[in-house]
Amino acid sequence: MKGPPPPKMRRCFTLPLVLLCAWTSLGHAEEAKPGPTMPGVVVTLWSKGTMPGQAATGPERAMPARGDNVLRLTDISEPSFTVYKVAADKPTPAVIICPGGGYGILAYDKEGTEVAAWLNSLGITGIVLKYRVPKNQDGAFQDIQRAMWLVRHRATEWNIARDRVGVMGFSAGGHLAARLSTHGGPATYPRLDDADDQSLRPNFALLVYPAYLDQGLTKLVDAKTAPTFIAHAEDDKSYIKGSKVYHESLLAAKVPTQFFKVATGGHGHGLRSEKEIKAWPDQCRDWLKQIGILPAAR
């Protein structure tokens, strides 16, 4: 019996132009933030008629600008990911990036494409996930499962090391990434094709001011949970407790982990903070060297 057609793939313009066009179309032309230097490859997660669960009721749209140079997307009914590769002779590590936004919107540049550019600077392929919002945690989890399968299935095509694929998330995206790194499988939808035969559990997880970690996830942590880096500021009063209890659960399960905790930084800063939390990228890079994802000399 013939299987479903493969997910759609299309080339993406260089990132700064895309963001500038999006802001201009809203009547708020803003200065485009730095993005990956190479064009991205956009892959639709689900072929027509195969997406499980619910889609958004309206077409995808950008929210009105708030004067903070953040591109906020919502009503995601055609989830996808964009692969930003790096030029390399050998297969590179890869990270699936989950922007945050309370499962209502995606802070797509601040916690997505800008992070992909930073990962590229380390020699890591950045993959920005556009998962279903708003109010669709079940659909979002199906999206990240499918994304992990597709990335591993097509790793050779994108020069990715299949055994060095991690997940990264900010705020609600951190919850989504942690959910995959603890729960992993089984699949939450029927098998579609050969891609769904790959391993679901990521090789490592990077959680930056993650949200909701104290709402059931700690019970799922065990020795198989992905090695995890957490960065959080104490003055993020709403969510720092979740990071603390999740870190304690990782330690109890003897999972390799590092908790970079500082006094100031708040929530929602991405790579843009000037407070103490601004050191998290360097701490994260060093930890990736320690666990062997990046070479020690880099």
The model's confidence at residue 1, banded by pLDDT at 50, 70 and 90, is: very low
Q: Are 152 and 199 in contact (CB under 8 A)?
A: yes
> Residue 227: pLDDT above 70?
yes
Q: What does the block give as tokens for 43?
A: 């892959």
What is the rounded distance in angstroms from the CA atom of residue 150 to the CA atom of residue 147?
5
pLDDT, the chain, mean: 89
User: Which residue shows structure tokens 């003897």?
Assistant: 254
To 10 degrees, what angle do helices 137-153 and 172-182 make?
60
- Sheet of 72-74: strands edge to edge? 61-62, 72-74, 106-107
As a whole number, mean pLDDT of residues 231-240 equals 98
Give the length of the chain.
298
What is the rounded distance in angstroms from the CA atom of residue 253 to the CA atom of residue 258?
14
Q: What does the block give as tokens for 97?
A: 């990036």
Q: What share of the chain is helix, strand, coil (3-state, %, to 5)?
A: 30, 20, 50
CATH superfamily of 9-290: Alpha/Beta hydrolase fold, catalytic domain (3.40.50.1820)
As a whole number, mean pLDDT of residues 233-260 equals 98
Instruction: Specify the pLDDT at position 33.
Output: 59
* Pick from 16, 158, 2: nearest CA to 93: 158
Q: What does the block give as tokens for 104?
A: 């209502």
Q: What letters, b where the CB count within 10 A reaches 16 and e where it falls short, cover 224-234? A: ebbbbbbbbbe
The model's confidence at residue 23, banded by pLDDT at 50, 70 and 90, is: very low
* Pick from 258, 179, 257, 254: nearest CA to 223: 254
Q: Where are the domains of the chain?
A: 9-290
What is the rounded distance in angstroms from the CA atom of residue 235 to the CA atom of residue 141?
29
Dihedral class, residue 161 (left if φ above 0, else alpha if ψ from -120 to 50, else beta): beta
Q: Which strand (E) or helix (H) includes residue 231?
A: strand 228-233
Model pLDDT for residues 125-136, shown as the tens digit of each residue:
999 999 999 999
As a whole number, mean pLDDT of residues 75-88 equals 96
Instruction: Specify the pLDDT at position 18.
Output: 38
The model's confidence at residue 27, banded by pLDDT at 50, 70 and 90, is: very low
